[in-house]
Structure 1
Amino acid sequence: MKLTIFALGSQGDVQPYLALGAGLQRAGHTVRVALPENFQAQATAVGLDTLPMHGNVQALMDQPELRALLARGDMLAINRYTSAAARAAAPLWAEQGLQAAQGADLLVTGLGTLAHSVGEKLGVPVLEAPVVPLTPTRDFPAVLLPPGTPWLGPWANRLTHRLVRQMMTRQGSPALTRRILGLPRTPRRSGHFLAAPTLYGISPSVLPRPSDWPQRVQLTGYWFLPEGAWAPPPGLEAFVQAGPPPVSIGFGSMGLRDPHQTTQLVLEALDCSQQRAVLLSGWGGLGDQTLPDHVFAAPPLPHSWLFPRVAAAVHHGGAGTTAASLRAGVPTLVAPFFGDQPFWGQRVQALGAGPAPLPQRTLSAAGLAAALRELAGNPGFTARAAQLGQQIRHEDGVGEATRQIEAYGTELGRG
């Protein structure tokens, strides 16, 4: 088959689709990935054909106004800000989306409506493959609700999923994109294609599949890139081996309102808990100052290399980073900003692989120090994390997703 994967967003939104695309390509399919222009080099490095989409997500996340919104965890304001950026980019995205999908037998997409509009325009079926659970269920509320939303009960839980799905469909530029593509305002409900499966790149060891999901909604396991040769930056391996295993601390693609202040908070917490640490600079600039000898500042690097070498991982709770720390079998502390991050922090706690999440908007040196001491002093976290890691490493998420995509292609007569 010829497939186009739409992978739009930050690092954690893109990397799983590079893994899925590489797996589909190894299985003999022709794959193109439409992705933000700042990730083109990563996709090319794993041998994928790319179509770079207008915009640099890292530059957007670095805007002071968005950094402030992220620090507050204000989901509605974040949506308004990013939706305005999406509307500005809509004309180019519509044109580039059409170009990316030309000749495809099937479109595969995570979050967003662009692929659906393009697929409708070209008459190409679309398969949803998110890494965040969006299908309505009675088991838990919608994962994109504001942090701290109370348990609402089975009926209300299911309703929140529909409300959030409507919000996601309306945000950004779907109406504008459809107008640009010459489509009617409301998507056509056509029986031309068989109902596509929904495939989640999530481990069933981390999120048990809800029993009220339709049969064609499946958890395949996480989508990881194969581990390749990689050389750590000078001094990192020596630092890791020079004493007790350090803690990894980093907040990924999240922009920090004040990197210097956040670094000072982390250093104070490390002093109080008497632990060594590797600080991952990420997109927020953590570790932007002179550091003591027991702390090492590292640039962005493969989690698959670092996490198995540390005592615990502290991060923002992005779906991809959570998958990586649990796969490594290390105790995990999530300090969420917004979106699905609080949900993954709650899952880590419920699974017994780490303590309760510490929201970024209330993060303090004393609170982080207490959590670090709890991570180090609770052998139950270590044992449970190791057990989970073993289960996840035995899963073949990319292989399972590939098989299900191939089966759908056969149903369509396009396999």
Structure 2
Amino acid sequence: MKIGMLTWGSHGDIRPFLALADGLQSAGHEVHLVITSLEAETYDKVRSAAGAKITVLTPLTFNAEQAEAVGQAAYRIRDPLKQMAEILRLAFAPAEDAMFEAARRLCAESDLLVGHYFMHPLQVAAEHAGLPYVSVLLSHGGVPSDYVNPLGLSMVGKHGNRMLWWLTRTLLNRTVRHYPDRLRKQLGMAPMRDIVSDVWVSRYLALVAVSPQICPRQPDWLDSIQVCGFLDRPNCELEGVLPPSLSGFLAAGEAPVYMTFGSWMPKDLKGQTAALRLLTDAAREANCRAIIQCSDWSACGFSSDDRILYVAAAPHHQIFPHCMAIVHHGGAGTTQSATLAGKPSIVVANLSEQEHWGRELKRIGVAGKTVKRRNATAAGIAAQIRHVREKPEMSERARRIGEAMRQENGVAEAVRQIELRSRGVESTAQAGKKASENWPGEEYQR
């Protein structure tokens, strides 16, 4: 098949699509991946090892101050829907028309489209062109079910979960549905009914790119929803290399705690300095050795010693296995990389989605209480590090889950699911019947 792919966001939103593009190309398909990056030239040198075509869009590029403004806007807003609306307004909407144009070009050259679950420009273009559309969810927190709810609350029961999903979807549609409806209007299409079931969770095929060790398949999910597993890939050049000083640092004492805020590390020196001070003080207070990742640590006035090693970047899959635990922001990629390495996590979350990951890691027994970035203190992070150190059963649990994850191959399973669906494993009539079945909470919408 000729397969068009489109993604947008930070490195955690792009890396899985690079992995899937390689997998599909290696399986004999002709793949064209379009990346929408907010950072000019970041992905210009990224190449597909399998030969997939990669196009980088930079319709909106942020300098350090603008990028920091988006981050500040995100973690000063407590309401998750208002938080999402602000991020979309600042970082998605200005690039939407360019992505829609790219999506329509992909439709003209492709048999099947694969998009980031947020990628309504591609879904709208695919629907208009009458082409099958596969959504890839990098988190399972947005898939409705009577068995879980969007707020992570327990003891509310199936009826309570259903009501919470109905309320969430109603508010979500009020907040963001105007974006796809604007594009649909341009093509003479009717307004969208529900952004969750029409865009996020494709009724043709929705791949949940989360390890089954973290994401159990819910009994009421449609057959079109498949958990493929973590879309992992070998290290990218832009992810850095192991620093020469690492081997000596590791040999000099106990296993360190790795600390990273990933794409949520501030881009300006003032913000980086504050973040570095927070993490450094937390490591000192917890009395642990630490490796702290920050691109401009030297310019911020920090220097390594026998207790703390500062690095600009490092490939997580190579460095995490050498650490005692991982302090991170709760991004989908870093979360699963830490778990794949068999290490406990301390999550310092900026967004509601990152808080979801923190809750999930706590649920499976590999993390303690999530720290919220807006009110994070060195003492609070240090307390969570000590909690991990004092709970050897948590480390053992993480080790076992990591071992199980290493037996999985998310890319191979995603490719298999796409090929099965495209071969028409289910007849058109069966697919139509399943598409008409109620989603959790849909009777409330009616």
TM bucket (normalised to shorter chain) is: 0.7 to 0.9
| Aligned counterparts, 1:167-186, within 5 A | 171=176, 173-180=179-186, 182-186=187-191
Aligned length: 403
Alpha carbons of 1:101 and 1:384: their partners in 2 closer, same or farther (altered >3 Å)?
same
Query: Could you tell me which residue of structure 2 aligns to residue 368 of structure 1?
Result: 381
Amino acid at match of 2:111: D
TM-score (norm 2): 0.82
Choose which of 42, 46, 52 in structure 2 pairs with 1:48: 52
Query: Could you tell me which residue of structure 2 aligns to residue 196 of structure 1?
Result: 204
Alpha carbons of 1:228 and 1:315: their partners in 2 closer, same or farther (altered >3 Å)?
closer
Shift in Å, 1:215: 2.4
Alpha carbons of 1:407 and 1:58: their partners in 2 closer, same or farther (altered >3 Å)?
farther
1:384 partnered with 2:397:
yes
Query: Could you tell me which residue of structure 2 aligns to residue 124 of structure 1?
Result: 131
| Aligned counterparts, 1:139-150, within 5 A | 139-142=147-150
Alpha carbons of 1:97 and 1:216: their partners in 2 closer, same or farther (altered >3 Å)?
closer
Choose which of 198, 212, 223 in structure 1 pairs with 2:220: 212
Alpha carbons of 1:291 and 1:149: their partners in 2 closer, same or farther (altered >3 Å)?
farther
Comparing 296-305 and 253-262, the one that deviates more: 253-262
Choose which of 277, 285, 308 in structure 2 pairs with 1:272: 285
2:298, 2:218 → 1: CA distance? 38
- Is the 8 Å Cα contact of residues 256 and 325 (structure 2) preserved in structure 1? yes
Query: Could you tell me which residue of structure 2 aligns to residue 403 of structure 1?
Result: 416
- Is the 8 Å Cα contact of residues 70 and 255 (structure 1) preserved in structure 2? no
Choose which of 249, 256, 262 in structure 2 pairs with 1:252: 262
Shift in Å, 1:280: 1.4
Shift in Å, 1:234: 3.5
- Is the 8 Å Cα contact of residues 332 and 353 (structure 1) preserved in structure 2? yes
- Is the 8 Å Cα contact of residues 74 and 83 (structure 2) preserved in structure 1? yes
1:269, 1:279 → 2: CA distance? 11
- Is the 8 Å Cα contact of residues 280 and 286 (structure 1) preserved in structure 2? no
Query: Could you tell me which residue of structure 2 aligns to residue 291 of structure 1?
Result: 303
1:166, 1:108 → 2: CA distance? 26
Query: Could you tell me which residue of structure 2 aligns to residue 109 of structure 1?
Result: 115
Shift in Å, 1:49: 0.9
Shift in Å, 1:29: 0.8
Alpha carbons of 1:228 and 1:195: their partners in 2 closer, same or farther (altered >3 Å)?
closer
Shift in Å, 1:90: 2.7
Residue-by-residue CA offset, 1:278-316 (whole Å, 9 max, x unaligned): 11116x979933235121221233211111111110101
Query: Could you tell me which residue of structure 2 aligns to residue 135 of structure 1?
Result: 143
Alpha carbons of 1:103 and 1:385: their partners in 2 closer, same or farther (altered >3 Å)?
same
1:67 partnered with 2:71:
yes
- Is the 8 Å Cα contact of residues 133 and 205 (structure 2) preserved in structure 1? no
2:345, 2:218 → 1: CA distance? 24
Amino acid at match of 1:153: G
2:203, 2:378 → 1: CA distance? 50
1:87 partnered with 2:99:
no
- Give ranges in structure 1 of 5+ residues lacking alignment: none
Shift in Å, 1:203: 1.0
Amino acid at match of 2:87: T
Comparing 238-247 and 39-48, the one that deviates more: 39-48
Residue-by-residue CA offset, 1:230-266 (whole Å, 9 max, x unaligned): 7423423332333221110011111548332222222
TM-score (norm 1): 0.88
Shift in Å, 1:390: 0.4
| Aligned counterparts, 1:299-310, within 5 A | 299-310=312-323
1:70, 1:403 → 2: CA distance? 37
Query: Could you tell me which residue of structure 2 aligns to residue 34 of structure 1?
Result: 34
- Is the 8 Å Cα contact of residues 203 and 219 (structure 1) preserved in structure 2? yes
SS in 1 for 2:413: helix
Amino acid at match of 1:63: A
Shift in Å, 1:407: 0.8
Residue-by-residue CA offset, 1:7-29 (whole Å, 9 max, x unaligned): 11111111111111111111111
Shift in Å, 1:382: 1.1
- Is the 8 Å Cα contact of residues 46 and 236 (structure 2) preserved in structure 1? no
Q: What CA RMSD, in Å, does the superposition of the two structures yield over aligned residues?
A: 2.9
Residue-by-residue CA offset, 1:375-401 (whole Å, 9 max, x unaligned): 222111110000000000001111111
1:48, 1:30 → 2: CA distance? 7
Alpha carbons of 1:308 and 1:73: their partners in 2 closer, same or farther (altered >3 Å)?
farther
Residue-by-residue CA offset, 1:118-146 (whole Å, 9 max, x unaligned): 1023221111221112221122222xx5x
Residue-by-residue CA offset, 1:352-372 (whole Å, 9 max, x unaligned): 112111111221111111111
1:355 partnered with 2:372:
no
Query: Could you tell me which residue of structure 1 aligns to residue 246 of structure 2?
Result: 236
2:160, 2:64 → 1: CA distance? 35
Alpha carbons of 1:82 and 1:271: their partners in 2 closer, same or farther (altered >3 Å)?
closer
Query: Could you tell me which residue of structure 1 aligns to residue 231 of structure 2?
Result: 223
* Identity percentage of aligned residues: 27
- Is the 8 Å Cα contact of residues 246 and 277 (structure 1) preserved in structure 2? yes
SS in 2 for 1:7: strand
Residue-by-residue CA offset, 1:173-199 (whole Å, 9 max, x unaligned): 22222234x23242599xxxx951221
Residue-by-residue CA offset, 1:34-55 (whole Å, 9 max, x unaligned): 2114453364254431232334
Comparing 304-313 and 151-160, the one that deviates more: 151-160
Alpha carbons of 1:45 and 1:411: their partners in 2 closer, same or farther (altered >3 Å)?
closer
1:356, 1:228 → 2: CA distance? 32
Alpha carbons of 1:244 and 1:366: their partners in 2 closer, same or farther (altered >3 Å)?
same
Amino acid at match of 2:399: A
SS in 2 for 1:411: coil
